[in-house]
Amino acid sequence: MRETGTRTIVIGAGSGGCVAAARLSEQEQHRVTLVEAGPDLAPGEVLPAIDGPDYLAAMAVPGRVDTDVHATRVQGGDPRPYPLGRGLGGSSAINGMVAARGDAARYRSWGWHDAAETWERVAVPVERPAASELGAVDRALLDAEAGAEPALLTRRDGRRVTSAEAYLWPARERSNLEILTDSAVTRIVLDGRRAVGVVLDDGTELAADRVVVAAGAIHTPALLLRSGVDTPGIGTGLQDHPAVAFTLALHEPDDPSRLVTGAVADRGTIQLLPMNHLGSSPDGASHGMLMAALMSPHGRAGTVTVAPDGAPQVDEALLADPRDVAELVRAARETLDLLRTPSFAALVSTVYIDDHGTTADVLADDVALETWVRSATGAYLHATSTCAMGTVVDADGAVAGHQGLFVCDASVFPAIPDANTHLPTVMLAERLCARWAR
């Protein structure tokens, strides 16, 4: 990817785009323009809601969440909102901050034998929360579950560190890096089969020698399709982490100034994730949650297509594979057993399975449990693999059949990592940038 005087446009400033813009602009011969649809996130201007422990408050910051995307989770279900991070930092500014690398053997199975050394270049810091920050549901999980531990979080000295802070802030003053915020890309400009620029939503056209798309596993395939990129497989193979959630009515309201999530437990392919409160309202402080997610799903039937108006249409097809149904039913049953242990019984007055007040008592047998799982399954909002390596892009992230067009985000994972996807996406972007610099 090395050329003298190369003009590169990076689309999207999330976990992958921040890395790509920063690393490419380290080379003086590159002129890099980073284009982001959402707002800036500049030093000295980060709101306390983003820096603080309550990611629900971060999601409420105006302009930080893309609320236009809806997704069908399971076959026959209705489309539901699929909130995505927006603005510099992307979802790293609003997520739960859980920092996980995933299974090293999985990366090796993809041929990523340089993953271990790549992790050494990842600039996002991680730290465990102080004991005083842990909430009541965290503590119950740590007491009741042998595999639970305080979670590693993407923080430094108790503050969230986004991909924008870790990568873009040190690069902002470089003369060869331009950052455009509040500027949505409507399409990539193609000259034959070569990418030569982008068109913004106000009609402005920006020229480039190459385009790096880092808009995420939903917006990236939609943008490619909308631009007339005809590589087979774009938008197919979508994976996410299917999850079920139990809402917990607490005997005593929790302190919403504590972390929403400060602990995590892994049971093989299942992750248990607590929420100590559901927001700062009185009702939110009186309720917590315990989620069980399948971290290595088998199904790959999910798709992203585009509507006539160009908007992404998302069908996750989360339980299309019967093995995923069986594993998630087992996870739900084991989670219910966990909620009956003394640690949770002392904390929780009632367990609910929906927002209509239905209690977990109705899940009296396996048939009822499977019926509920099929209807209630949601996602961790970890969409991946819609432009997968070996199908849509090559090992360098180059889109097959086109020139000057690359992808650098979670859409290129060969399969979903068995971990919360923010840090693996940063690692992926570091890996691609190192290959481009050869």
User: What angle, 0 to 180 degrees and rounded to 10, lies between the N-to-C axes of helices 366-376 and 322-339?
Assistant: 110
Structure tokens at 163: 């991909």
For tokens 């983003």, name the residue: 50
CB burial class (10 A; 0-12, 13-18, 19+) of residue 87? buried
List pLDDT tens digits, range 237-261.
Answer: 999 999 999 999 999 999 887 899 9
List pLDDT tens digits, range 111-167.
Answer: 999 999 999 999 999 999 999 999 999 999 999 999 999 999 999 999 999 999 999
CB-side neighbour CA atoms (13 Å) of 336? 19
- 239 beta partners: 384
Predicted pLDDT of residue 255 = 86
Cβ-Cβ contacts under 8 Å for 108 (sequence gap 6 or more):
115
Whether the model clears a pTM of 0.75, i.e. scores above it, the answer is: yes
Contact by Cβ (8 Å): 119, 150: no
Q: If residue 65 lies in a helix (H) or strand (E), which one and from where to where?
A: strand 65-66
The CB density around residue 126, as the number of other CB atoms within 10 Å, is 18
Phi/psi for 27 (5° steps) reads -95, 115
Phi/psi for 316 (5° steps) reads -75, -25
Predicted pLDDT of residue 340 = 97
Predicted pLDDT of residue 257 = 79
The CB density around residue 96, as the number of other CB atoms within 10 Å, is 23
Predicted pLDDT of residue 438 = 80
Predicted pLDDT of residue 165 = 98
Dist CA 96 CA 420 (whole Å): 10
- Complete domains list, the chain, with CATH: 1-66+82-124+161-235+383-438 (3.50.50.60), 126-158+242-294+319-376 (3.30.410.40)
The amino acid at residue 324 is: D
Predicted pLDDT of residue 45 = 93
Low-confidence ranges of the chain (pLDDT < 50): 3
